Structure 1
Amino acid sequence: MNLVELTEAPAAALPVQTLREHLRLGSGFADDSLQEGLLAGFLRAAIAAIEGRTGKALLSRDFAQSVTEWARPDRQPLAVAPVVEIAAVRLVDANGAETSLPPSAWRLDREGSVRPALVPVGAFLPRVPIGGQAIVTFTAGYGPQWADVPPDLAQAVLMLAAHYHDFRHDTALGPGCMPFGVTALIERYRPLRLGVCA
């Protein structure tokens, strides 16, 4: 499985001013624009870290997930949630020829057993060509604006971005590498992994 982010959250959606206030930074200085770029970078890094730990896309954007075979013949979980819509499903053969599946052949199961999933309208998803792949293009995220992000995840991003700001010159890894308050806020969003211990 390969997941590619096709679009990036726009800079205007990032809570740069909120982070500035959280850090109690002054404003009105000549280097404000330089500082805004740095704060936006810390926010993007914090968002990526929170999304990586939770499997949730905070701000809406487009993704493409490719697989060489379906996880199950009747269901393909999507790598991030919440999924707003599936835009397209394409089958690509070993020679690169593409076939788009009509929307009447599949649907989005938003809830899924654990994750949102692509499911067939009939019994099974069509076979992925040997040596080829299936590509699912979809939009995921809580919304286009920062106000759409759940408050606990938004607070976790601010805390982690502030941590990155405060320790920006420290290259050593500390124990755990993520502040306790951040991990406590995101804990309920973390995917539950079940398996057999060896």
Structure 2
Amino acid sequence: MYLIEESQIPDAALPVARLRDHLRLGSGFAEDSLQDDLLLGFLRAAIAAVEARTGKALIARDFLCSLQRWRDVTGQVLPIAPVRMVTQVQLVDRFGVGTVVASDRYSLVEDASAPCLRPVGTVLPSVPEYGSVEVRFEAGMALAFGDLPADLAQAVMLLAAHYYEYRDETALGQGCMPFGVTSLIARYRPVRLGFGA
């Protein structure tokens, strides 16, 4: 399974000014915007780290999930949540020729942790031998950073500030993510149930 981010969060959607205020960086100088690219990088890294720990896309954008086969033909769980909509399902044969599956053959079962693509009928369409299936979808908790739950937004700001403060560190410290961040995102982490859990 491959998960590819097909669209990136636009720079304008990232709270650079808010991070600059959080860091108490000087203002009123001609060079105020010199660090903006650096701050954008830290915000993107912080968002990626929080998303990796929680399994949730924070800001809405487009993704592509490519599979060699369905894990379960009665419903395929998508690798990131929450999914807002499935935009396309395409079967790709061994020669790379794609066939779009009609949208009335599947439906999205929305779930905060494990959104699922279900067949309208008994099973999902057969994946061609030596081929793949590509599922395109939009996922994200919010359309803008300001619409995120306050605890997740604060976790991103704290982690971006941590990356900024320790940008010259080359060795791993006592745990890579500060405790304040891990405690803020704890309730969003996926719960695994099963044998040995």
**Would you say same fold, with TM above 0.5?**
yes
Please give the TM-score of this superposition, normalised by the length of structure 2: 0.96
The answer for the alignment partner of 2:24 in structure 1 is 24
SS in structure 2 at match of 1:66: strand
Distance 1:148 1:90 in 2: 32
Deviation at 1:15, TM superposition (A): 0.8
Q: Which is further off, 163-172 or 26-35?
A: 26-35
Give the Cα–Cα distance (whole angstroms) in 1 for the partners of residues 163 and 147 of structure 2: 23
Alpha-carbon shift at residue 117 of structure 1 (Å): 1.1
Aligned to 1:97: 97
Distance 1:111 1:170 in 2: 39
1:115-194 to 2 correspondence within 5 Å?
115-194=114-193
Contact 2:85 2:137 in 1 (8 A): yes
Which runs of structure 2 are paired with 1:33-44 in the superposition (5 Å)?
A: 33-44=33-44
User: 115-124 or 103-112: which moved more?
Assistant: 103-112
Which residue identity lines up with residue 104 of structure 1 in the other structure?
D
Runs of 4+ aligned structure 1 residues displaced above 3 Å come to 194-197
Matched, 1:4 2:8: no
Which residue of the partner structure matches residue 86 of structure 2? 86
Could you tell me how far 1:143 is from its partner in structure 2? 2.3
What is the correspondence of 1:105-116 to structure 2 with a 5 Å cutoff? 105-111=105-111, 114-116=113-115
- What residue ranges of structure 1 are gaps of 5+ in the alignment? none
Structure 2 counterpart of 1:72: 72
Please tell me the residue identity of whatever aligns with 1:79: P
**Which structure 2 segments of 5+ residues have no match?**
none
Give 1:75 deviation, angstroms. Answer: 0.7
Displacement of 1:59: 0.6
Residue 195 of structure 1, CA deviation: 4.7
Q: Matches of 1:8 and 1:144 in 2, distance apart?
A: 12
CA contact (8 A) 2:46 2:159 kept: yes
Native 8 Å contact 2:61 2:139 kept in 1 = yes
Q: Distance in 1 between matches of 2:40 and 2:97?
A: 40
**What's the CA shift for 1:196?**
4.1
Quote the offset at 1:33 in angstroms. Answer: 1.8
Alignment deviations for residues 112-147 of structure 1 (CA, whole Å, 9 cap, x no partner): 8x5001111111101111111000000001222112
Compute the displacement of 1:28 (Å): 2.0
Match of 2:155, SS?
helix
Shift, 1:30, TM fit: 2.6
CA RMSD of superposed structures (Å):
1.2
